[in-house]
Amino acid sequence: MRLTRTATRSTLATGACVAVLALSACGGGAAEEEAAPAAEPSVAEAPEFEEGSTMATIAEEGAIQIGTKFDQPGFGLTDLGGDPEGFDVEIATYIAGQLGLGADAIEWVEAPSAERENLIEAGEVDLVVATYTINDLRKERITFAGPYYVAGQQIMVNAGDTTIAGPEDLAANPDFIVCSVTGSTPAENIRQYLAAPEQLVEFEGYDDCVSAMENGQVQATTTDNVILTGYVAENEGAYELVGEQFTEEPYGIGLAKGDTAFCEFVNEALASAAEDGSYEEAWTATAGQYEGTEVPTLPEPDPCV
Ligand code: GLU
């Protein structure tokens, strides 16, 4: 099943405003204007790979399908032209570059939280870079490269709402409804703090949660701090985070189960992005523009199994 909302980056060659790492060239808020100048993505010239490997197949095809989020500011969010932008998009674009593929060879496939393993198993995508927490349950179906970032779960409320100071206060406030996304780790993690299962409402994407907060249908949204930070920044004065992060969410890159050679290749690509400065640049041009974020250091990779 290919999700309906797909977008290709074929317009990249002509569309300067959607060029990789070119957020600063796209105008917009003050924070964007302060971003580092855009860098050209590096594309390996005629790289050679072992015959029959996933890398060789993708390089020969000259095209790659990548799953990412389309509705998460800072990590994966479609711009007005329908092209996604964000830290995940930059990381994925760098990996494609190491395969010898430029941005115009990427087909972006929307990968909602609950669909990520399905997309990989069905072969609809070659990899998924989508705020995707590495965990054992998911490892039963797919292989993760990375991690390339470590986030943590937090709660976002309407600005000035002091009903709760963290997840521990939820059980005592059963009418304070929390929203999260089906198939996400935060939706599972939050259950232990609730007065009853009905205190959690789940939607397909975080945009739906934020709309439900606007409508007053729910009082909070919970997911990874970096995703919530994006919503806080994009809706000035409307929302705030309460309490500290209460989980660790190491972000991995989802691949077909057992493809250890591809996993090792992706880990090498991540190491090379950290070494040549692309990792930091990708952060600074995207999620790093939001207040309160810090430039991360690339975590040590997990073994590819
Ligand atoms: N990192 C969490 C997860 O993989 C939450 C973010 C998301 O839903 O993509 O489930």
The residue assigned the tokens 């299962």 is: 197
Q: The tokens of 187 are what?
A: 């939706």
pLDDT on residue 34? 44
Taking 60 as the threshold, does the pLDDT of residue 8 lie above it? Answer: no
pLDDT on residue 52? 95
Taking 70 as the threshold, does the pLDDT of residue 27 lie above it? Answer: no
- Ligand 1 atom nearest to CA at 181: 8
Per-residue pLDDT of 244-283, as tens digits, reads: 999 999 999 999 999 999 999 999 999 999 999 999 999 9
What does the DSSP 8-state code read for residue 148? E
* Class of 153-242 in CATH: alpha beta
Per-residue pLDDT of 272-304, as tens digits, reads: 999 999 999 999 999 999 988 899 999 999 999
Place 40 in a pLDDT band, splitting at 50, 70 and 90: low
Closest CA to 299 of 273, 260, 262: 273
- Ligand 1 atom nearest to CA at 227: 6
Tell me, using a 6 A CB cutoff, whether residue 112 lines ligand 1: no
Distances (CA, A) of 83 to 123, 220, 279: 22, 29, 20
Mutate which of 120, 154, 181, 210 for ligand 1 pocket (most atoms within 8 A of beta carbon): 181
- Ligand 1 atom nearest to CA at 132: 4
- CA dist 282 and 41 (Å) reads 10
Query: Where exactly does CATH 3.40.190.10 map onto the chain?
Result: 2-23+33-150+249-289, 153-242
Taking 90 as the threshold, does the pLDDT of residue 90 lie above it? Answer: yes
pLDDT on residue 82? 87
- Ligand 1 atom nearest to CA at 185: 10
- CA dist 149 and 254 (Å) reads 14
pTM of the model: 0.87
Taking 80 as the threshold, does the pLDDT of residue 37 lie above it? Answer: no
Best CATH choice for the domain 2-23+33-150+249-289 from the list 3.60.70.12, 3.30.43.10, 3.40.190.10, 2.30.30.100: 3.40.190.10
Taking 90 as the threshold, does the pLDDT of residue 14 lie above it? Answer: no
Ligand 1 centre to CA of 91 (Å) is: 17
Taking 60 as the threshold, does the pLDDT of residue 106 lie above it? Answer: yes
Taking 70 as the threshold, does the pLDDT of residue 4 lie above it? Answer: no
Ligand 1 centre to CA of 47 (Å) is: 33
Average pLDDT over residues 110-132: 98
Ligand 1 centre to CA of 223 (Å) is: 7
- CA dist 257 and 289 (Å) reads 34
Residue, of 3 and 210, whose pLDDT is higher: 210
The set of residues, in sequence order, having a beta carbon less than 8 Å from that of 5 and lying 6+ positions away, is 70, 110
Q: Residue 65 burial (CB < 10 Å; 0-12/13-18/19+)?
A: buried
Average pLDDT over residues 90-117: 97
Ligand 1 centre to CA of 179 (Å) is: 13
Residue owning the nearest CA to atom 10 of ligand 1: 184
Per-residue pLDDT of 174-197, as tens digits, reads: 999 999 999 999 999 999 999 999
DSSP letters spanning 174-237: TTS-EEEETT-HHHHHGGGG-SSGGGEEEESSHHHHHHHHHTTS-SEEEEEHHHHHHHHHHSTT
Average pLDDT over residues 98-127: 97
Closest CA to 68 of 45, 84, 47: 84
Q: Residue 285 burial (CB < 10 Å; 0-12/13-18/19+)?
A: buried
Average pLDDT over residues 194-214: 97
Tell me, using a 6 A CB cutoff, whether residue 133 lines ligand 1: yes
Q: Residue 280 burial (CB < 10 Å; 0-12/13-18/19+)?
A: middle
Taking 70 as the threshold, does the pLDDT of residue 234 lie above it? Answer: yes
Mutate which of 137, 249, 251, 253 for ligand 1 pocket (most atoms within 8 A of beta carbon): 249
Ligand 1 centre to CA of 231 (Å) is: 15
pLDDT on residue 105? 96
